[in-house]
Amino acid sequence: MLDNRQIDLAAYWMPFTANRQFKAKPRLFTSAKNMHYTSSDGRQVLDGTAGLWCVNAGHCRDPIVKAVQNKVAELDYSPAFQMGHPDAFELANRLTALIGGDYSNVFYTNSGSESVDTALKIALAYHRVKGDAARTRLIGRERGYHGVGFGGISVGGVVTTRKMFGPLLPGVDHLPHTHNLEKNAFSRGEPEWGGHLADELERIVALHDASTIAAVIVEPMAGSAGVLVPPKGYLKKLRAICDKYGFLLIFDEVITGFGRLGSPFAVNHFGVQPDIVTAAKGLTNGTVPMGAVFVRKHIFDTFMTGPDNAIEFFHGYTYSGHPVAVAAALASLDVYAADGLLTRGAGMAKYFEDAVHSLKGKPHVIDVRNIGLVAGIELQPRPGAPGARAYETFVKCFEAGALIRTTGDIIALSPPLIIEKKQIDELVGLIAAALKTVA
């Protein structure tokens, strides 16, 4: 047990946190195992969010812990440029086999933000290498979240992550988001209404001309901005329009990768093959920072031209393919396979769906939406105090023994994929109880 008041909290500038509010009443975790965190005051807290959408196999799984411990003692670091280590190649082979299709190659990064910027750079460079240098525009979507790099915030559509930091990348445009409570409130799975919103890409083409557009990037399911499940047919339509005009399609699977929707990737779940796929988070079960970018064979092959001694893509990170991160990823894949976790969500989805939809009719709840092991529960904002209701619900849940995540007035649930039915009941029960106590 720790007394939070004895820790000097002053120097740490916390990310995406109300620093003064937090430090006035801190919430600290000191350990974790499987579905639970232990808080600094010694309480068990049920993890309803897999950390931040990353601890898909549950916490401190022995094979992953051991793999990291062993690797750090054996090969602490190996240069990423013009040198390699065997595990990095093995991981790339296993990842391309896992995602399937004709994804032939993997580029390593250290985070989702870096994966996004890497993917955007691959898209721009791809057209340049092909001699199509006029294709420089990038198309994102309103309410999209693609991390915090300048590329990611430029194509992203979350105003708070954009407004302070301009000018952003030029030549970016945005598709409309697909959120519409009048049409789709309390949808189960993919909403019926909204597939036609993909046609808005045609309007963007008419405005800018197809010859200027390099790529379209979307989250197959928008996570951060409040769990927006793609309407039926939407992603297939986007793919078709991209094909028609020669745009690369990028799926940002930082959240949806590694089993979140009940399939290994959203690519598999929706049967749509984008040209480039970004990943991070669940890649190492959140243990060690790591991201990855998957490309299809035609993308990689386009770069493999010119003299053999020429570097084909001037991009990379000191820690691309870090041995300890790679060890964590390999062990995570082993655990996912041994426990069947990358498809476990498919079997649990219906139970989870029924449980979260039982919140319909509870105080303040204006929508519940879900897919796989993800749910969004939207609350009516308190007049004049947007976000306050959801934040207070989050604090009450934490005090009662459950970790949830909120964005604005939306509660997002994304538990570790090992969650059991009785833990789903517990999580939803604690949220229902908290909602009753929030004004």
Q: How far is the CB of 324 from ligand PXG (least distance, A)?
A: 17
* Closer residue to ligand PXG, CB minimum distance, 205 or 295: 295
| Residue 292 DSSP SS3 | strand
Q: How far is the CB of 413 from ligand PXG (least distance, A)?
A: 11
Structure tokens at 329: 């990823």
Instruction: Of 158, 230, 164, 154, give the one whose Cα is nearest residue 193.
Output: 230
Instruction: Of 272, 153, 168, 159, give the one whose Cα is nearest residue 221.
Output: 272
* Closer residue to ligand PXG, CB minimum distance, 123 or 255: 255
* Closer residue to ligand PXG, CB minimum distance, 156 or 345: 156
Instruction: List phi, psi (to 5°) of 209.
Output: 75, 135
Q: Are strands 172-175 and 213-218 parallel, antiparallel or unpaired?
A: unpaired
Contact by Cβ (8 Å): 31, 23: no
**Measured distance CA(89)–CA(43) in Å, rounded:** 42
Which residue ranges make up the site for ligand PXG (CB under 6 A)?
52-53, 111-113, 116, 145-147, 219, 223-224, 252, 254-255, 280, 405, 407, 412
**Measured distance CA(235)–CA(217) in Å, rounded:** 11
Q: How far is the CB of 203 from ligand PXG (least distance, A)?
A: 24
* Closer residue to ligand PXG, CB minimum distance, 145 or 336: 145
* Closer residue to ligand PXG, CB minimum distance, 35 or 283: 283
* Closer residue to ligand PXG, CB minimum distance, 88 or 116: 116
Give residue number: closest CB to ligand PXG: 112
Q: How far is the CB of 282 from ligand PXG (least distance, A)?
A: 11
| Residue 248 DSSP SS3 | strand
* Closer residue to ligand PXG, CB minimum distance, 145 or 398: 145
Q: How far is the CB of 43 from ligand PXG (least distance, A)?
A: 22
Q: Which runs of consecutive H residues, i.e. helices, occur in 261-409?
A: 266-270, 297-303, 323-338, 341-357, 388-400
**CB count, 10 Å around CB of 312?**
14
**Measured distance CA(421)–CA(349) in Å, rounded:** 10
Q: How far is the CB of 140 from ligand PXG (least distance, A)?
A: 11
DSSP 8-state symbol, 209: -
Q: How far is the CB of 274 from ligand PXG (least distance, A)?
A: 13
